[in-house]
Structure 1
Amino acid sequence: MRGIYIRKLIFFLLILSLLLIPSGEQVWADQGHDLSGQTVGSLETIIFSADAPEAVMKAVEKALPGYEIKQVKGRSLAQFLAGADAVLAYDVQALPLIDSGADFHFYPLYTEAVAIAVDRGQTDADIKGWEDLSRASPGVNINSSEPQLHYIWAAISHAFSGKIDNDTTAAYLAAIHKSGRLQWDHPEAPIHILLGAPGADQYRADKNREIIIPAEGTLSFDIGILSRRPLSEGKILYIMKECQNSGYELLDSLQSDAVVPPPDREHLHPAASLLAEFAALGDITAPLSRNVLGIKRHVSADAREHHLVSLFLLILITFWMAYVKRHIIHPGIRRGFYITGILLLGWISVSLFRYSLFLHPEAERYSWYFYYAFILSLPIVSLYVAVNADKAEDSHIPLWIKICGAISAGFLLLVLTNDLHQWVFDFHSDNPAEWGREYTRELGFKMISIWVIISQFAAFALMLAKSWDSPRRKRAVWPALIFPVGMLYSIMYNLGVPFFREIPLTLGMSSLVFLFWAAVTYSGLIPSNRYYHELFAASSLDMQIIDLNGEVSFRSAGASPLEADIVAGKSDRRKTARSEKDTLVWTTPISGGSVVTRENIQVLNETRNALRRVTQLLEEENQILAQKEQVQSRLILLEEQNRLANEVNEAVKGKIQKMRDLLYDMDEDPVIQRKTLNQIQRLALFCKRRSELLIHSKQHQTYPAQELCRLVQETAGAAPDEFVAFCQIDNQLSYQTAAELYEYFHIANDIACKTGIGSMTVRFYPDGKDQYMHILADGDREDFLAALEEEMPDRGNIEISHKELGDSFTVIFRVREGGEDCA
């Protein structure tokens, strides 16, 4: 079920991103990338771009007095599609809409052509066309506003290759840029490549300016009114006449004798005849940035690439969240990672909507403000994850994190109310539609940046300090490298360094945050069960994990087939246990299934049976003698059959004898009887595990530290609740060292129970070649040490030291690896 939900989420994100990727027709039909934000939709409204000729607007205003004239910056066609009644548009914008079946009407008014304007007051260069321009020495300026830049790009390529393509124009402009002559939006440049009406008053008024139609050819564009309703022919003719009086002539309507065609008209090629090539051209941002200006080589350069990168990030983050659900077992960490993933998905999605949809200026601005809901939340979630890095059972939110969250909420409120006070961003224009482009960062922004950096650094430092004892801490170099890269990017981006400003903030920070947490998970700074399945599969224990359907998901090396009744009881979510002859089987429910464990208790059963026989012998002397002879006979027989069995019996003989003595001397007091039985149980458990150690020592050279830790935890589980053990040994041990450590731990537990120790904490750890068992206990030190001196075997490879700590005391056992004598 979990996989189905993940696939549905990925499919939804894929469809969303594909829907938001702009099509070729959308790109070339309206190339403006800055959202003007003018809300248009009322009737009788006609839209003009900011650079529309004043004479044309006056003519339309006189001819169409019932229309409201609105002049906007950028994306005028998009505003017409949003609801305006008419718009001044190019033929290559209007005709595809009409051809697609839209009920629109287009009325051409005048013609513009891509031409070369030379200021003869600054240069006398001999320029007849594009080739001359590329060889000339003066600077060449191009207006970067859209869609004019798009049409200039198309005209250059068509002049050289007879078709519209990116490579031709890119190569031509790249050569000019490489020579250092290409300029953008520089009105004082000596040479301009422009899109305009060659005979217009604005060009004829400048006596020094020469308008040149390139000899290699250029493109011409008819500009007219695109309307939702038909307009009267008389009004259109009136507008055309007024335009002609100002030099804005429509070349395709030169049928009047009063109008003389320009002598170089044969060099003009109508762009309307190349609609299919314009549609295929698409966005020119990427080739212009990379192939001409040599920038944005390492980041997405246009809207399509931005959407594809965003889609890739969305899918990666979704897969990472699925990985977290499967591998992170600590609830606090898992919850923090979920919130981080949701914040990243939300941030990228808001960015996609902001740059893909035509928004009201306030909606656009507040979507920009809302970025800071994600920016300010991520460090707080990082602090939450760092605090819970060592909390295995439950999550924890200390008071100081709540205070940090309140500070971030205050900063967010400061951003959301910026229109009222402008303490974060100070807008230069009185027009709210331009606030997103013309502003400076004020004190509030600097405070927010410092707060984000400090809180994120504190989270990383806290997490590193808590996780430094991880066995895979060497991999911490990856998050340690990514973190300063993220800090550097954030600082350089805010300082306006060009290389970093080319990377969109949303994609840059989202990628770095995602990579940082993925590296943290990989490096082991965050606890996970990434390697648990390998440990489980290599275990010699008889264990299996089954899912809710009874299918085996994981199986240990020593696992045996499951019985049908166990699989049939897969829906029983209760913890159960049962005994089958010499095997103990218990089922433990876990998330998504159950763990089925078997343990061979043959030795324990044999010991229990022997104890039962000994008890019967105590009741009847004759039966005791008879049973004793039988046991001795059996021991002799086992010694003859298997030398290994002799060694096993020799290793546990003293403990078995002690159990007999305890049974023999058992007091009638129920409390003492219970303590005696607990001691017998510990002795029996020791006999079993000590025998296993001896048997395994004949098969292997070393003993895994994990198995010794398991034996320690098992023995600690049979002791009183106040006795706790921690095993931090992670290297291979000789069987002699493992057996000695296990035996010393058993003796210490037994003595602590007998001498009335209130609480005891035992920690195993390595130091060089030595292995240490450190005991911290509350109680009578003298009785404990006296009993320890009596119980401990006389061996030269152990060194015991002790120290009194008030009501407590410590005892440290030092064992030399391989049985070497202590110095």
Structure 2
Amino acid sequence: MHKGRLGVAVLLLFAAVFCFSGCNMKSDEKTVFARDTDPAYIDLLRDIAPDCTLRDGKGLSSLLSSVDGEDKAFALFDVQARASKDAGTGGIWYEHFATAAVIAVDRSRFDGEIKGWRDLENISCPVGFTSRYERMLFAAVSYGLEKNYMSGEAVGLLHKLNKSGRLSYDKIDAPVNICWDYQAALMKREGKNIEIIIPSEGTLLYGVGVLSGYEMKFSQNAGDAIAAAGFRADKAQGENYPSLSEYGRAERVGDAVEFARQTENFISVFKRGVFRSRLYSSAESFEHKLLGAAVIMTAIIWMGFALRRVQRKDIRMLVRALGGMVIAWMLVCILKYQTDGNPVMGRYLWYAYYVFMMGLPLLMLILSLMIDSSGNVRQRKIFVCSGFAVYAVLLLTVFTNDLHGWVFKFEDIKTFSGGYTYNFGYYLIFAFIVAAVILSTAILVRKAMRGFNRSRLVLPILSEVLLFVYCAAYAAGVPVARDSDITTVSCVFALAFAELAMRTGLVPVNQKYAVLFSNSPLRMQIIDSEGNAEFSSAGARPISREDWEKLRDDIKHPLLLHGDTLLYADGIPGGMIVWQESIAEILDMQQEIRENVLKLTSANKLLVTERESKYRLAAAEENVRLMELLNAEMERHLERMNDMIDGLERSNNKQRDIARITLLMCYIKRRCSLFFKEQEGGDMPAEELAVYIDELSEFASYADIRISTVCTAKGSLSPRCGSVMYDFFYSVLDSCAGEENTLLERLADTDGMTEMKLLPSSFDGGEEFMSDELKKAVEGVGGTVSVKDLDETAGISLRVPKGGKAP
């Protein structure tokens, strides 16, 4: 246990050291380091500083850790030198020329108007963007647009150009180019019709020179040599450059530390924001290291948990090998990012990738062979040894590539720079990796075809298939795969395959089965293919040979034992697992259920009979109640109608009296309909009441009453309010039916109320036309009646709450 903890501590220590340390370089000779420096300036330094040796400045951040008092110097921009000195590196700053980010327009190819950065968005021609000092160049564009060094508008501008296919990155041969003024001046010197534009929004002016740890001696004609090389000293009017007044729009960086802070994530912002690449993977050195550290920590944690679960020695050894290989690969990868200045070490660390690129698929194949325990053990050992032999030969071929070039052919083998091509050895390595993945997948598929639970192999197989698809996409250059880190993805897939194999039970993770079974409260047994019980719980009953044979012949169906126990079985490699379930309680419950069902059936019949009797009685009582209510509502009107019919023989104007009887009959009919609506509840539309009023108005015409109706009311009112308004309307008609009359009726919404207004041509009844029952009904719904005397007639109105009020 102590050894395991010590090993984990050592791995964590190495991870921290490699993630956050740099490779220091020291040289006794006077050296000027230059990284991504313009070749013209490098040639200039060779001329004006002949005593110094120029070297590639890869790994510049670690080289700049200390300058003062050392025989080394660095070709830098002034903001880099100032930030370095502010950080305490010391040194002497020698500025040789000044340069500003400008827009260079080839007027022989583009004649449109361009004044500043924002104009580039609206032009249709390609726009070049030089990769020379691209961080400083982008900061200048950003500063011109938003007065900061990493502006979202600058990212958006370049992204739009790239999305539309107009951005020509790493080239300045387009009709319009974003570049440095000395590059544009050089194009003018070559005879091109170039207009150099200092953007109207502004730009940045940088000084370019050398930060030295010692006092440098330059040639006496250094100034002339700088001008002859096409560079412009600050505040000097250079040949082929814009006027000094135009350079007034170019500003120097004020706070170099703030500049460094804002632009420290330039690479990731530029790749993701402009080109939409590296969206799902690390994009720069720090992110590479951080991601590598995360994978290392994950592998260490996984190893710790896996080793606690696995008991078999061979699988424990494989877990250690798999986790150790993942950790070692990530450490090599992180170390490689730290050795930019040493091409030999960088190349051999890159060769070391293939130790793991081939090793992980080989370990996955060995794990698949362990999972599939069928077949000859000796043949499996020979197969594994053969795989390791091929693996060793291919690794030897990779590490001796500098001698024969069978795997990679480099353009410049000394500096590990330039392009390279693949040779036949690389394709043999790729075939080995693919073969290992395919064979491990085939072994798992074959095991799945023989097993009883094939679904558990889906996830492990899927992880291998996805890894194969990813590798193929990476080799084919698919952008999503190519922009990712194949090292990280391969490590994650390898860990995922091993963990899924354990989670799904393909890899045994506990060997204490005897203790497990003996202490289990379940009554179960594991029986081998000969019918012998290998493991048995304390409560399990012995199974006879005869019962075992029955289970073997029909394993899908349970077997009844002793009348109260069921034997269930499921096949496993080499035998079956049998568990016993007592059904005595279930049988007792079933008998009790049968008895309760009989009792409930009898009780249910009685309840159904009683319910039907109560329903019939309730229906009869409800009918009686409704008839009594209807009689109470209509009794007075029916008696009046009978009196009017009896008085027809004595009438002097039978036609008029018959019309009044007809009007009353129409009222009674519709009033009955409203009565039943009241009993049903709910609301009635105001338009429905208007239809009833129109109907009654037609019958009133036979009694010499001409009625004009208007309905503007919307919404609904309660049936009770509708009945009251209908009663009110009839009462007015009945009081006007003795002589010829003209009546104007209007139903409208007023101040949240529903109002009926009536204006007869003659009316002298006051409020006496309303019966006591009608007055009570109006009060019951919260209504108000208004009768205004208008000489020979009157204005009559009834208002009830909109939506009605419960009586």
Q: What is the TM-score normalised by the length of structure 2?
A: 0.62
Is 1:360 aligned with 2:342? yes
Runs (5+) with no aligned partner, structure 1: 23-34, 542-555, 558-703, 717-722, 749-761, 774-792, 799-814
Say whether residues 1:105 and 2:92 are aligned partners: yes
Q: 1:174 touches 1:292 (CA, 8 Å); kept in 2? A: yes
Q: What residue is the counterpart of 1:510 in the other structure? A: 491
Question: Which letter maps to 2:108?
Answer: G
Out of 224, 229, 240, which is 2:223 matched to? 240
Matches within 5 A, 1:194-593: 194-197=179-182, 200-232=185-217, 235=218, 238-251=221-234, 262-271=244-253, 273-389=255-371, 398-427=381-410, 429-435=411-417, 437-463=418-444, 465-466=446-447, 473-529=454-510, 536=516, 541=519
Letter of the aligned partner of 1:498 in structure 2?
A: P
**How far 1:87 moved relative to its partner?**
2.8
Amino acid at match of 2:363: V
Match of 1:143? 130
1:77-156 correspondence to structure 2 within 5 Å: 85-145=72-132, 148-156=133-141
Q: Could you say which residue in structure 1 is the equivalent of 2:32?
A: 46
Q: Is the 8 A contact 1:139 1:191 kept in 2?
A: yes
Q: Note closer, same or farther for the CA distance 1:106–1:482 as it changes in structure 2 (3 Å cut).
A: same
Partner of 1:271, secondary structure, is coil
Post-superposition shift, 1:325? 1.0
Q: Secondary structure at the match of 1:251?
A: coil
Q: In the alignment, is the contact (CA less than 8 A) between 1:387 and 1:462 conserved in 2?
A: yes
Match of 1:571 in 2: none
Q: What residue is the counterpart of 2:142 in the other structure?
A: 157
Distance in 2 of aligned mates of 1:219 and 1:370: 44
Match of residue 549 from structure 1: none
In structure 2, the partner of 1:179 is 164
> Which residue identity does 1:12 align to in structure 2?
L
CA contact (8 A) 2:463 2:497 kept: yes
- In the alignment, the residues of structure 2 paired with residue 816 and residue 263 of structure 1 have an alpha-carbon distance, to the nearest angstrom, of 98
Contact 1:336 1:382 survives alignment (8 Å): no
Tell me the CA shift for residue 280 of structure 1: 3.2
Q: Which residue of 1 aligns with 2:174?
A: 189
Whole-angstrom distance in 1 between the partners of 2:560 and 2:403 = 67
Contact 1:6 1:318 in 2 (8 A): no
Q: Could you list the per-position Cα deviations for residues 541-577 of structure 1 after superposition, in whole angstroms to 9, with x for gaps in the alignment?
A: 3xxxxxxxxxxxxxx77xxxxxxxxxxxxxxxxxxxx
Query: How many Å apart are 1:53 and its aligned residue?
Result: 5.1
| Worse-matched range after superposition: 77-86 or 319-328 | 77-86
- CA-based RMSD of the aligned residues comes to 4.3
Contact 2:318 2:367 in 1 (8 A): yes
For 2:263 and 2:150, how far apart are their aligned partners in 1?
Answer: 6
For 1:325 and 1:266, the matched residues in 2 are separated by 69
Q: Which moved more, 1:260-269 or 1:184-193?
A: 260-269
Structure 2 residue corresponding to 1:170, chosen from 130, 155, 164: 155
Cα displacement (A) at 1:43: 0.6
CA 1:198 to 1:512, structure 2 compared with 1: closer, same or farther past 3 Å?
A: closer
Cross-structure match for 2:543? 741
The answer to whether the 8 A contact 2:146-2:153 is kept is yes
Per the TM alignment, residue 336 of structure 1 is displaced from its structure 2 partner at its CA by: 0.9
2:682 — aligned with what? Answer: none
546, 556, 570: which one aligns with 1:768: 556
Is contact 2:99-2:206 (8 Å) kept?
yes
TM-score, normalised to structure 1's length? 0.61
Larger Rg: 2
Flag the 1:310–1:130 CA change in 2: closer, same or farther, 3 A. Answer: same
Task: Name the SS of the counterpart of 1:741 in structure 2.
Answer: coil
CA shift, 1:58, in A, is 5.0
Instruction: State the one-letter code of the partner of 1:383.
Output: L
Whole-angstrom distance in 1 between the partners of 2:308 and 2:542: 39
Q: What is aligned with 1:806?
A: none
2:527 equivalent to 1:725: no
**1:213 Cα deviation after fit:** 1.0
Letter in 2 for 1:97: S
1:158·1:164 contact (CA, 8 Å) conserved in 2? Answer: yes
State the shift of 1:494 in Å. 1.7
Summarize the alignment of residues 620-639 of structure 1 with structure 2, pairs less than 5 Å apart: none
Paired residue type of 1:374: F
Which residue identity lines up with residue 406 of structure 1 in the other structure? A
What is the CA deviation profile of residues 666-712 of structure 1, one whole-angstrom value per residue up to 9, with x for unaligned ones?
Answer: xxxxxxxxxxxxxxxxxxxxxxxxxxxxxxxxxxxxxx552x44xx7
What is the rounded CA distance, in whole Å, between the counterparts of 1:446 and 1:323 in structure 2?
A: 37
Tell me: CA distance 1:226–1:238, structure 2 relative to 1, closer, same or farther (3 Å): farther
Is the 1:729–1:764 contact (alpha carbons within 8 Å) kept by the matching residues of 2? no
Q: Is the 8 A contact 2:93 2:212 kept in 1?
A: yes
Counterparts of 1:213 and 1:418, CA distance in 2:
51
Mapped to 1, the partners of 2:150 and 2:511 lie a distance apart of 51
User: Would the aligned equivalents of 1:59 and 1:242 in 2 still touch at CA under 8 Å?
Assistant: yes
1:766-819 deviation per Cα after TM superposition (whole angstroms, max 9, x unaligned) = 61216699xxxxxxxxxxxxxxxxxxx9xxx99xxxxxxxxxxxxxxxx99999
The one-letter code matched in structure 2 to 1:123 is F
Q: 1:443 offset after TM fit, Å?
A: 1.4
Partner SS, residue 398 of structure 1: helix
Distance 1:62 1:5 in 2: 57
Cα distance between partner residues in 1 of 2:486 and 2:400: 22
Distance across 2 between alignment mates of 1:740 and 1:531: 22
Q: Report the CA distance between 1:389 and its aligned residue.
A: 3.3
For 2:209 and 2:196, the matched residues in 1 are separated by 23
Q: What is residue 19 of structure 1 aligned with on the other side?
A: 20
State how far apart, in whole Å, the 2-side matches of 1:60 and 1:85 are: 14
Q: How does 1:739-818 map to 2 (within 5 A)?
A: 741-742=543-544, 767-769=555-557
TM-superposed CA distance for 1:245, in Å, is 4.0
Find the aligned partners of 2:362 and 2:252 in 1 and give their Cα distance.
Answer: 59
Judge conservation of contact 1:476–1:524 (CA < 8 Å) in 2. Answer: no
Q: Cα deviations across residues 382-437 of structure 1 (Å, max 9, x unaligned)?
A: 33333333679xx987122112111110011111111111111122x2353244x5
Q: Give distance in 2, aligned partners of 1:416 and 1:376.
A: 14
Residue 653 of structure 1 corresponds to: none
Amino acid paired to 2:159: A
Unaligned runs of 5+ in 2: 568-579, 585-807
Please tell me the residue identity of whatever aligns with 2:455. Answer: K
Partner deviation per Cα, 1:336-361 (whole Å, 9 max, x = no partner): 11101101110111001101333411
